[in-house]
Amino acid sequence: IASEPTKEEGDYTRRGPAAVLVARLPMDGPNEQVSVQPGYTYLGGSNVELTIADNTFVMFTRGEHAWAVTSEDDGKLIAAMKKGSEMSVRGTSTKETYSIDTYSLLGFTAAYQAMRDACGN
């Protein structure tokens, strides 16, 4: 599942396309992964904050990607995405500029179920 932001804010001058992705990986055990691609390289050692309603999740960064810290966090994040209507993602670039991207979660539950059906439960 891939989604582009409905709103982009920040003090950056330019960047590439941003997206949030939910992937189902071909492996045993917890196999669903949430990641963020901001359209720039994250500041080394920085974290990303992803907020849905009153829930804030911290993601670690490497290069142009951010991931949930544990597979348990992926599960909690997906559960919050299914219940929420909107989420925001805040990150910091190597130029020490920030971005806050807003994503709609409307339709996420249906897309998530379609992914599970297509890839096997």
- DSSP letters along 56-70, please? EEEEEEETTEEEESS
32, β-bridge pairs: 24
Please give the C-alpha separations between residue 110 and each of 9, 66, 71, 107, in angstroms, as whole numbers: 28, 24, 22, 5
**Residue 94's pLDDT band (boundaries 50, 70, 90)?**
very high
Average of per-residue pLDDT across 2-29: 91
The H helix count followed by the E strand count for the chain is: 2, 9
Range of the domain at 78: 2-119
Q: What is the pLDDT of residue 29?
A: 64
**Tally of domains in the chain:** 1
Span 105-117, pLDDT tens digits:
999 999 999 998 8
**Domain of residue 47, CATH code:** 2.60.40.1880
Span 24-73, pLDDT tens digits:
887 666 689 999 999 999 999 999 999 999 999 999 999 999 999 999 99
CA dihedral 118, 2, 79, 30 (to 10 degrees): 60
CB 12 within 8 A of CB 99: yes
CB 91 within 8 A of CB 67: no
**Residue 9's pLDDT band (boundaries 50, 70, 90)?**
very high
- Does the structure show a pLDDT above 90 at 104? yes
> Which residue type does 2 have?
A
